[in-house]
Structure 1
Amino acid sequence: MASTSSALPRDICAIDFGTSNSAVAVPAQEGGQLTGGMRLVPLEGRHTTMPTAVFYFAEGRHDADGPPRAFGRAAMAAYEEGVDGRLMRSMKSILGSSLIDQVTDVGGGRGVKYADMLAGYLKHLRRQAIQDGIEPRRVVLGRPVYFVDGEPARDAAAQASLTAAARAVGFEEVQFQFEPIAAAFDYEQQATREQRVLVADIGGGTSDFSLVRVGPDRMQRLERREDILANHGVHIAGTDFDRHIELAGILREFGYRALGPARAGQPPREVPSGIYFDLATWHLINTCYSPQRVMELRNMKPFYGEPRHHQRLMTVLEERLGHELAHRAEEAKIAVSGGGGCQIDLGLIESGLSVELREETAVGALQSDIERIAAAGRETVAMAGLTPADVDALYFTGGSTGLRLLAERIAADYPQAQQVRGDRFASVATGLGLHAARLFAG
């Protein structure tokens, strides 16, 4: 990360708290001496990014921080190994919703508030940054352009909740920067001339666009408001893709959009679909396991024209396999992201059961979302009073830009723009670090 100042304090950091992955930047040092730049913190071994995931163990004693937990890759490993407990992901998507103050069951007879769950993850990130005399008390947090689309009050509440969580874990000063603006600062390090760059930051929870004027003569300025030509976003991204893939490619084998038996000369009716939408939404999966709901679904067997669909659904509910299905949908999305197809093994539900996911199925499932995301990019340019021909560069960042179908569709609107791919998982954190260095420099 480029040097910005020789007088950086030791109590600053920047955090990219992402829907799917997170990263932290702190002042860089060598031999105990600050070098004047920022660096990404190794969070797990050599990895400078970490899955935004927490696993609550069903067994074990509470400590001062709460129930026994694992974070990041360790959380994912515990889940994949079948350890008794509950995996939490997509915590960022809870911000701005009524769930933030609710308590959820995490196993072992324990309940945890979603707000405390989020704060616990931030506390873990801060602890990873405390080393070699660095103890962050001031932070720049990244945020999407909109936590909640079209609802300013809920959007403000989301930022307030994130601020409260950051203060609760020891940050005394909390600043925010839009994630796509941060990505533009990262891109600016390689800019050799002044350009108008459209940043497409497509992550797990939001798709954000910013049109920013960048250049070597501008990068040292702290006040960049006049260089931010427009920003816009939609609350559609990777987790939505996963949900559509699961519905189209997996849950049809469990009764989604299937027909029930014909009755009294009437045409068959479609099986009620509410349970399937909840099973395909990470933060709602656990609601499917309540005894009352399981009993309700068990009594719905007569609504199914194909008994095997109902039997498979009940296996998922009774053995609490919903998160595993969501995980396999995510893996399938990744597998087809470069083209072709894949086979989804569902043998854990029923011996020999598998589903083929072909690229055309994925295209059909994701087409509407991809078009809405591309439209948000075009609207961003229009908000700046410009046309696609005025965009000099298109900068892709965020994990979901690895989806070929999406990147190609966005790029098609800007045929004259140079296409540049940043680090899909670290560009935002790098840019937030640059901003923190400029903001907090002594």
Structure 2
Amino acid sequence: MAIGFDFGTSNCSVAHVVNGHVQTIPLSENETFILSALCAPTRAAVSEYLFRCLNIAPSSSAGEAVLSRAMSDNRAEGLEVRLDDVLFGKQALNLYLEDPDYVYYVKSPKSFLGTLQLREPQLVLFEDIVCAMMANIKSRAEAYLGQEITETVIGRPVVFNTLGGEKSNIQAEGILYRAASRAGFKHIEFQFEPVAAGLDFESTLTSEKNVLVVDIGGGTSDCSMIRMGPKWLTKKDRPETLLAHAGKSVGGNNLDISIAFQRFMLEFGKETNYKSGKAMPTMFFWEAVATNDVNAQRKFYSYENLETLKRLRAEAMYPEKVQRLIQVHQKALGHMVVGEAEKAKITLSDQSEYIASIDLLSEKIDIPIFSEQMEKSIAEPMRQIKNLIKEILLQGEVTPDVVYITGGSARSPIVREAVKSVLPNTPIASGNYLGSVTEGLARWADLCFK
């Protein structure tokens, strides 16, 4: 049996085709989406969980070395890894929020894929995390359907990491492929996410059109210019219809991080001075909320940085604010702060004001944020998204008949206005913002594995 698998930055979902109709498969309490999050007692617990609880072996000698080290570390800590020690989705998030100091929490591992200059053990860990999440989703889908799933089409962005180029794409797709194979999929294909979203839109067309698909996902923004229409619906080989592709590693997460950095970090000491009058560096505040940058997170949460932050507090004009930054470090609260920024972004799509509430355990900070402030905070990522649309127009050398906009962040009026600013005279269509990629992947899987 074949499914379309959207391994998303924010959420994951799967679907299949039954009698020509796409059916999304419930994954959690009748919800068709599961949060892209994992929580475990320790980082080392993830690798042992796969081997001991799911009988999933490493895919390389480097993986075997990581597993051996993980099992040794777990024994040294007196940890016997059990099946219910590793949680996923909202259960993982709830445990993290309940006790962030004593768990290993990962959200949006897809954001880390394609990061270059990483050591082999880190790449192995990413593969293990992705494999654990995929195995969990596969198991849930099989339990619902009552049959084994062996074939899948997995969505991927046009560009995983803007800085790494094609090397990043090869590394990231390799991790996804190995993880899916270890999770039990026997036949695996990939499809660009904007193309998949376009396939879903194509099923509604009654005539031929040049369609610009703009997919604003959690971690990436992708554009594809595609010639669409009824005559292409059942064709797998259609290279002449794929006119251009472009992508950047900027998406909804970047908007959340920008809000957290520009607005929230003011309460943690950003834009304040040392007692000497010299301006305090901003890098510390950026690294605290850059949850999609593995190197920034590793630097912020290092023991050496804790000592630096303490010196910063001693020299700061407002030490009580820097103490909050230390709390973020000591309690691993970066994901919580960015999560509150995401709530602000969503709420301000429909309202003019939102009161963010950041719980540092020792105190709770209420921060008002207005829609104009949010728009200013996300100006830079929005500029990048507009430039991406301009790039695809140059590549495709055609004017689209319609723009099909999708992705969770595409619901924001600010995003839609950005698209309009580049193509003011082109109609904009939208469908299932969160589900169009999944549904398109399911359609492609139905074609691939017939």
Q: Same fold (TM over 0.5)?
A: yes
Q: Provide the rounded CA distance (Å) in 2 between the counterparts of 1:201 and 1:70.
A: 29
* CA shift for structure 1 position 99: 4.7
Aligned counterpart for 2:387 among listed residues 370, 375, 379: 375
1:425 CA displacement: 1.3
Aligned counterpart for 2:261 among listed residues 247, 250, 273: 247
2:66 counterpart residue number: none
Partner residue in 1 for 2:218 = 204
- CA separation of 1:351/1:126 partners in 2, compared to 1, >3 Å: closer, same or farther? closer
The number of equivalent residue pairs is 410
Kept in 2: contact 1:312–1:350 (CA 8 A): no
Q: Deviations over 1:3-39 (max 9, x none)?
A: xxxxxxx2x22211111111112343xxxxxx35442
Task: Kindly provide the CA deviation profile for residues 242-277 of structure 1, in whole angstroms up to 9, marking residues without a partner as x.
Answer: 111011111111112321122xxxxx3221333212
For 2:159, the equivalent position in structure 1 comes to: 146
* Residue 160 (str. 1) matches residue 144 (str. 2): no
Among 95, 100, 107, the residue aligned to 2:113: 95
Between the aligned partners of 1:278 and 1:201, the Cα distance in structure 2 is 27
1:115 maps to 2:127: yes
Alignment of 1:41 with 2:25, yes or no, is: yes
Structure 1: 5+ residue stretches without partners: 1-9, 29-34, 105-111, 263-267
Of the three residues 436, 440, 443, the one matched with 1:434 is 443
Q: CA deviation at 1:299?
A: 2.3
The whole-number CA distance in structure 2 between the counterparts of 1:329 and 1:381 is 32
Aligned to 2:321: 309
C-alpha distance in structure 1 between counterparts of 2:324 and 2:94, whole Å: 25
CA contact 2:324–2:360 (8 Å) conserved in 1: no
Report the equivalent of 1:13. 3
Structure 1 contact 271–303 (Cα < 8 Å) conserved: no
Partners of 2:387 and 2:281 in 1: CA distance: 32
- Aligned CA distance change for structure 1 residues 290 and 195 (closer, same or farther; 3 Å): same
Shift of 1:432: 0.5
State the 1:428 CA deviation. Answer: 0.2
> Structure 1 CA distance, aligned partners of 2:99 and 2:37?
16
Instruction: Provide the C-alpha distance between the structure 1 equivalents of 2:251 and 2:118, rounded to a whole number of angstroms.
Output: 20
Aligned residue number for residue 423 of structure 1: 432
Q: Identity over aligned residues, as a percent?
A: 28
Kept in 1: contact 2:327–2:360 (CA 8 A): no
User: SS of 1:396's equivalent?
Assistant: strand
Alignment RMSD, CA only?
A: 2.4
- Match in the other structure for 2:354: 342
- State the one-letter code of the partner of 2:27: L
Q: What is the CA distance between 1:353 and its match in structure 2? A: 3.2
Residues 359-398 of structure 1: per-residue CA shift (max 9 Å, x gap): 2221221112112101211211221112xxx321111111
Distance 1:369 1:36 in 2: 39
Q: Which has the higher helix share?
A: 2
2:53 aligned counterpart, secondary structure: coil
Q: SS state of the match for residue 281, structure 2?
A: coil
Matched, 1:56 2:47: no
Q: Give, in whole Å, the separation in 1 of the partners of 2:131 and 2:364.
A: 42
**Are the equivalent residues in 2 in contact too, given 1:101–1:115 (CA < 8 A)?**
no
- Are 2:138 and 1:126 aligned? yes
Q: Answer whether contact 2:408 2:433 (CA < 8 A) is retained.
A: yes
- Tell whether 2:416 aligns with 1:407: yes
| Deviation, structure 1 residue 332 | 1.5
Show the counterpart of 1:32: none
Aligned partner of 2:150 in structure 1 is 137
The answer as to whether partners of 2:251 and 2:409 remain within 8 angstroms in 1 is yes
Residue range with higher mean Cα deviation, 284-293 or 156-165? 284-293
The letter for the 2-side match of 1:39 is Q
Query: Contact 1:346 / 1:354 at 8 angstroms: preserved in 2?
Result: yes
Residue 49 of structure 1 and its aligned partner are, at CA, apart by: 1.6
Aligned partners of 1:217 and 1:319: how far apart in 2? 56
**Residue 233 (1) aligns with residue 244 (2):** no
Among 203, 206, 230, the residue aligned to 1:216: 230
Contact 2:328 2:360 in 1 (8 A): no
**Aligned residue in 1 for 2:61:** none
Alignment of 1:268-307 (within 5 A): 268-282=277-291, 283=294, 284-285=296-297, 288-307=300-319
State whether residues 271 and 282 of structure 2, in contact with CA within 8 Å, keep that contact through their aligned partners in structure 1. yes
Equivalent-residue separation in structure 2 for 1:175 and 1:371 (angstroms): 33
Shift of residue 285, structure 1, vs aligned partner: 4.1
Where does residue 108 of structure 1 map in the other structure?
none
Does the CA-based 8 Å contact 1:100-1:113 persist in structure 2?
no
Mapped pair 1:22 → 2:34: no
Whole-angstrom distance in 1 between the partners of 2:302 and 2:159: 32
Distance across 2 between alignment mates of 1:320 and 1:161: 26
CA deviation string 1:103-153 (max 9, x = no partner): 59xxxxxxx922211111011121122244532222111000111225212
Q: Return the letter of the residue paired with 1:141.
A: I
Residues of 2 paired with 1:240 and 1:432: CA distance?
25
Question: Quick check: 1:205–1:235 contact (8 Å CA) kept in 2?
Answer: yes
2-side partners of 1:300 and 1:378: how far apart? 43
Preserved CA contact (<8 Å) 2:215 2:405: yes
Task: Measure, in 1, the Cα distance between the counterparts of 2:289 and 2:191.
Answer: 31
Give 3-state SS (helix, strand or coil) of 2:378's partner. helix
Which shows bigger deviation, 42-51 or 197-206?
A: 42-51
C-alpha separation in 1, matches of 2:348 and 2:312: 34
Residue 73 of structure 2 corresponds to which residue in structure 1? Answer: none
